Amino acid sequence: MAFSGDQLQPTPSELACAIERARKYWHHLANEAFPHLGYGIQLMKLQDMLFRVPEIPAEAVQIYESNLATRKIILTRSSSTHCTEGKCNSSIAERSTASPLLVGIQTPVACLLSGSGFQQPDVTADKPQRKPHYLAILSLAWAYILSSRLLELQKQKGYGMSYTTSRATLVALDQDVLYPQSAAVYIGMVDKSAARWWAAILAPDQGWKAVFTRRNDDIYFAPWSYSLAHDPALNIQWQDNGAVTDQICPPPTSQAALKYLIDFCVLHGLREEFDAALAAVLTFPTHYFYTTTVEIPYSTAGRGDYASKSSARAEYIAVEHELPYFMALSCNYSVVMSSLCGSFWEPTVGCNFVTPWLHPVMEEMPKIPQLAGDSRQYHELVAIMCAIRRPSLLPLWTGASLTGLVAKVIDLVRTGTPPLDPNGAFWTGSPQNFLDLAGTGPYFETVSGVNIIRRVDVWRLLYLPPSEDDGLHYENLPFTPWQPIGKTRAENCVLRVRVHEACPRHQLLYSHWTWQMPDGLTKTDSGYQGCSARSQMPVLSPKAVDKSDSIDNLDYPRISFAEAQCASQMACCEIFRWVLANQEGKPPLERIYDDPWLADCRTNEESDPSVSDNGSDTLSQAYEDPDSDRIDEHHACQKDRIRQWAANVS
């Protein structure tokens, strides 16, 4: 018996239908997002992205050195535990997965003041002149605050904050004529300690150092440490001529530094920018992992309003007790990138329709005439569109747009195989792949006397942790979020799938986070409790747009896409490779496994170079948890992942 949907490569008519549906959806989103270009930061609530995120403990956790390509890093020994929702006779066990966080780096993140994210458009009659663009300054200040707080909480061996000899120039306000306003930052009437701190924050290269730990002869900095390049040099204007020396002005604590930052924001009326800057700095560790440069927008055109707004000070301070949660999210670069890439994932799109689904947003929208060929405006538009799709991720998308991370996200998504993290959906409240959803209806059905099941449900059941080891390796997520298509016979399924024939829907849910402590004990964390009554936020689906009568307000070009459909082919190959890597063999009478798109999914020793001489299947091992003390370079570059991983573990 052959099943409909068992042919991977769509027909021309199916492709035409898919591309038009995708266009309608993405065009609708673009029409919604376009008016917000330059103003997205005014819509943000940081806490929206905190669901089950744990907090950095106020005691030292166990850490270890690891290698990231040619760089050494410090990671935490930590893990996440998931359990299965829904009881059945198979007594499914829980699963704990090693999930290290990046807490120490040897080289600060490269930072430039050349970004253009959320630059408000030209002044019109109904929109007053914008305030100075202080997002870069606030972001750099937040980097210090998070770094200092991490050191204060962890107190690892050799930790400490210090100033360097590099500093921005401090000048009295009456010397303004000597320094062009575009290169001067006014900090008001502050004491010498605050002035010295701002001089370190805005210093070229490194103005301060946050040493997280020392190991042997190596020094590791907090992951928000940056090296700043700017031209012309920034100058600081303040209302004091007193001498500022490091002897009388040591580096402030995170709490004191936060007060200095709040004073600056109150002085200039920067409530929205305060939150946006924190969102921006949360992406710094992800930039470090992917070796991308932080590019933050900077402009001080106009003096702004210096009137005190002390009544709003409490709104700024409210975020302080949540910083350990934001820090944990930021240190988990895997969750950050998985969440951003997952915003493009759509549960109604199968693995063989990825290319037409992504084509309008990836290939056509950059050429919208209203964007005037400006790649940064395109990236900002994408950020707002994805925030509409995933409302809880608006702060994260704002941060990605402000620091120039969107370009990397797009590069990873267009392959059809973006990085995934099993904790992403539960930490941020945003589903990111088909395994994050339970599905609906019974697992099995009878058609023409044959018991069948959808392949996507087979994959979901394979991912559940079994009560007994059956020699199969489905502990890790596939290397693509896009679901397999078609159906299969029940008799072709392994036992761990068939035992659920009479079961209601199961789902692997997040239980808790575990920190390994230096004394051998563990510390568990159930996650952020500020949104315990909040469920996952709604997602704007293509079905909802299909029913709308939206009209395009933008001029969209229509560009034909390559017949090769690289993203679809790669997604199909990876989602089926996840199963074929276990050497179960190709199920009989299922022609889909003979499709040319799956030609690279070798499953036997004669054709698979990843099977080692001693008979061990390293291709299968690629889906197990590899050496947790090593971060493989293949995850960063997303190129030939299985082959590189197989080479690394063989």
pLDDT of residue 548: 64
DSSP classification of residue 129: P
Cβ atoms within 10 Å, residue 318:
11
- Look at residues 152, 392, 404, 210 and name the one whose alpha carbon lies nearest to residue 296: 404
pLDDT of residue 645: 34
> Do 236 and 117 form a contact (C-beta atoms < 8 A)?
no
Cα(401)–Cα(382) distance, integer angstroms: 9
Total-model pTM: 0.89
- Look at residues 182, 203, 193, 309 and name the one whose alpha carbon lies nearest to residue 240: 193
Query: What distance, in Å, lies between the first and last C-alpha atoms of the chain?
Result: 40
Q: List the structure tokens of 20.
A: 């038009």
Backbone φ, ψ for residue 453 (5° rounding): -150, 145
Cα(300)–Cα(294) distance, integer angstroms: 19
pLDDT of residue 120: 55
pLDDT of residue 445: 93
Report residues of the chain scoring pLDDT below 70: 1-5, 40-43, 89-92, 115-132, 174-183, 231-233, 241-243, 246-247, 299-312, 531-541, 543-551, 562-563, 583-585, 602-650
Backbone φ, ψ for residue 124 (5° rounding): -125, 175
> What three-state secondary structure class fits 365?
helix
